[in-house]
Amino acid sequence: MIEKSNLIFINEVISSIDSFQQEYGTFRYSITIQSYALHHQLMVSIIDTKCNAIRFVIEQALYEQAKIPSEYIYNLIKVKSEELFNKE
């Protein structure tokens, strides 16, 4: 089960991505959260208007109650989006 503090973390990430999407309208995002054993994964798919996709996974140990700042996620998505955009 994902604990409440992790749901807050997830909501922060989704808010970060939503605001990022408004700024970078070329891309849309798909988010999948998978729980298993002591870890969960936040899988982010970035898909551009030409249906190119880039996917990456962020892992977090639930038992450590680690927090990954929204700014980190935001910057990671920005970098990955630019990589995707520059591939063309």
Contact partners, residue 42, CB within 8 Å, separation at least 6: 10, 13, 31, 32, 33, 57, 58, 59, 60, 73
Supply the CATH number for residue 36's domain. Answer: 3.30.160.40
Report the pLDDT value the prediction gives residue 52, as an integer from 0 to 100.
Answer: 76
Q: Please tell me the distance from the alpha carbon of residue 78 to that of residue 17, in angstroms, as a whole number.
A: 10
The more confidently predicted of residues 5 and 46 is 46
Torsions phi, psi of 51, nearest 5?
65, 25
Assess whether pLDDT exceeds 60 at residue 39.
no
Q: Which domain holds residue 31?
A: 4-86
Report the pLDDT value the prediction gives residue 27, as an integer from 0 to 100.
Answer: 65
Please count the structural domains in the chain: 1
